[in-house]
Structure 1
């Protein structure tokens, strides 16, 4: 049976067990993504299609191969060649969106924040399969997981939010360094993209969990606008639909550059999309 948010997950005596139930719940509501926690003696997969996060961070041949998939997808779906920086932006999004969920979903569901350095994560994008090794995690004092090996107890919710941001930054920082030279963006723009991945990934999954409003409040507290290197706030605001209904939206801190392929079809949270178009896109067809 699915675990309600914030209830302690069943435990065994390893750090990895602190997050496995959160990842199982993620797979239930979003079957296109599977996060598998490796045992201490289990090797990370390295077969066809697999790439280690540390390889993406290195910015070499493995990143070239990773981005070749995005380039081929653009040619297949849109019949045109995208600029190299656009391809790199798509590739970063398709890695960073699921990678951020490795941190934010256990935090949102069980108030546990794993540390996931790039050396401990691998990704198979075709199957939506991530593997990771969890050696350490942060939790609150009243969490039963505080007794597990690798647990690091923090004082309160504010301290745990700081752990979320630190864990994502520890993982994404090297990845941004790997992608950065191909994207023609400075540090601030890259961290704007990271901010968007943190917010929009959890926002989407929380909607599937039936907890969209709680996620919006949690993300606003997580990103109040003063948490460098992240850029800006969670950016949520409310629009009014044609029948007076509330339509949540947000303003992205960055642009994904999709408009370079389809100028008339910008994303609903794109800074280029006006409110009238957002209302139209967010309102179900009659």
Structure 2
């Protein structure tokens, strides 16, 4: 991995994204957040380590080695490693990094950070599945609402409403996902719809789970509906969160827009209940 100088030249001011990330990390464990470039000593170049998103999207060898690592893990766990299962894991895992960072800061802080590939890095777990377990934000800039305590700082861009902030999160995430789809589609046999389905899933799930982690699942569901209110291109659907019954009790679930291909492993379980291979599309929302 190419070692980059941090874009941060000084400690960020009070009420900045550093403070926000500290608060968010104390509340949730979906994925650890970090502010600033990891120390050069942690940039080993191995798959299980730190990766700059911009490097992953411009260097095919990084994705290739990540696939190899996932195939090795699948063989160790299941005795086989279908290419589509490995590729399905990578597409979902990568997209979770910008989606989770954006969702957590939006839900808990009503802030939208930069989600550009140049401004993000992620760490692949050193044990177990080779999936991201930490995402780092490298830029101090963010958008916020007028009543944000840091609204008047030089790093902040103020937008007028929650709806505008949600639209900005959607747009910034979509811009990053567009780069991923362009980079990932050539080496794998996934169509554009399948990749954008994975991008839709990652954002919808991240917003839902952000609320659930904080003890207010309904608020997470409301955020998902705010960010994905309809099928807005290039996303493949509105939020698919809906209620169902579990042992007679109402609970939230969602229909997936993409398949993880885990069913290809010889475990006899088939596709999961919420997989688009088994579950019909939801009816369009009524306005």
TM-score, structure 1 normalization: 0.81
Counterpart of 1:65 in structure 2 is 65
Report Cα offsets for 1:85-130 as digits up to 9, x if no partner.
3312211212221331111111111110001211122222115232
Deviations 1:131-168 (A, max 9, x none): 22124211111212111122111111111111101121
1:45-194 equivalences under 5 Å are 46-47=43-44, 48=46, 49-83=49-83, 85-127=84-126, 128-194=133-199
Q: For residues 215-268 of structure 1, give each alpha carbon's deviation from its aligned partner in whole angstroms, at most 9, with x where no partner exists.
A: 1112012112232111101111221233x3102111111112111124515335
Q: In 2, distance between residues paired with 1:50 and 1:14?
A: 22
Distance 1:245 1:71, change over 3 A: same
Aligned residue for 2:151, secondary structure, equals helix
Is the 2:31–2:134 Cα contact (8 Å) retained in structure 1?
A: yes
Aligned to 2:283: none
Aligned 8 A contact 1:56 1:179 in 2: no
* Aligned CA-pair RMSD: 2.7
Q: Is 2:271 the partner of 1:266?
A: yes
Aligned residues: 261
* Equivalent pair of 1:176/1:190 in contact (CA under 8 Å): yes
Asked if the contact 1:71/1:81 (under 8 Å) is kept, the reply is yes
Equivalents in 1 of 2:239, 2:105: separation in Å? 19
For structure 1, the residue ranges without an aligned partner over 5 or more in a row are 1-11, 276-286
Instruction: Call closer, same or farther: CA 1:165–1:35 in 2, change over 3 Å.
Output: same
1:203 equivalent among 177, 199, 208: 208
Aligned residue in 2 for 1:279: none
Partner of 2:74: helix, strand, or coil? Answer: helix
Q: Is the 8 A contact 2:67 2:87 kept in 1?
A: yes
Name the SS for the 1:247 alignment partner. Answer: strand
Q: 2:32–2:135: 8 Å Cα contact kept in structure 1?
A: yes
Instruction: Choose between structure 1 and 2: higher helix proportion.
Output: 1
